[in-house]
């Protein structure tokens, strides 16, 4: 099972991103051929970032939610939520890594991937420091 980070969806859905091509290709392949698990926090996070007016990205909430709906209807995709061990794993990661600010939601997603025995996919190198997390970085655009 693969769980993508918010940044993977943002890059895949934002044509102006330098990493758009590789993220889009990866997301299309993963959603068709593997078990791609999407936490609500990732879907909501991508929606939040892409619709921020200060970024001037020009996305409407409707256009982003249409992307989400299309992704959720792909054959290899399912939503995933936390289970009974999630909070304890999250607590442990936050304490061990000294998480603050922006690394708090990262620890939350990492704990979900650990609990679900999933591979977490992100371009954020922070995840390489998370103990017990199976993490992969996307290849750069070729």
Q: Is 106 annotated as a binding residue?
A: yes
What is the number of other CB atoms lying within 10 angstroms of the CB of residue 59? Answer: 20
**101 in the Ramachandran plot: left (φ > 0), alpha (ψ -120 to 50) or beta?**
left
* Residue in this structure with the two tokens 């992100």, named with its chain if needed: 122
Q: Is 5 annotated as a binding residue?
A: yes
Signed CA dihedral, 100, 88, 133, 69: sign only: negative
E-strand stretches of the chain:
2-4, 36-39, 77-80, 119-121, 134-136
**Which residues are annotated as part of the binding site for Mg(2+)?**
5, 106
**Which residues are annotated as part of the binding site?**
5, 106
């Amino acid at each position: 099972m693969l769980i993508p980070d918010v940044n993977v969806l943002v890059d895949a859905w934002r044509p102006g991103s330098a990493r758009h091509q590789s993220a889009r290709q990866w997301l299309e392949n993963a959603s068709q051929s593997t078990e791609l698990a999407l936490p609500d926090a990732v879907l909501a996070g991508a929606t939040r970032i892409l619709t921020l007016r200060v970024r001037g990205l020009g996305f409407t909430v409707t256009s982003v939610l249409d992307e989400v709906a299309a992704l959720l209807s792909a054959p290899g995709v399912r939503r995933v939520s936390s289970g009974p061990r999630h909070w304890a794993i999250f607590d442990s990661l936050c304490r061990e890594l000294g998480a603050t600010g922006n690394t708090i939601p990262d620890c939350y997603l990492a704990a979900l991937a650990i609990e679900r025995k999933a591979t977490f996919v992100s371009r954020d190198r922070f995840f390489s420091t998370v103990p017990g997390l199976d993490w992969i970085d996307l290849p750069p655009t070729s």
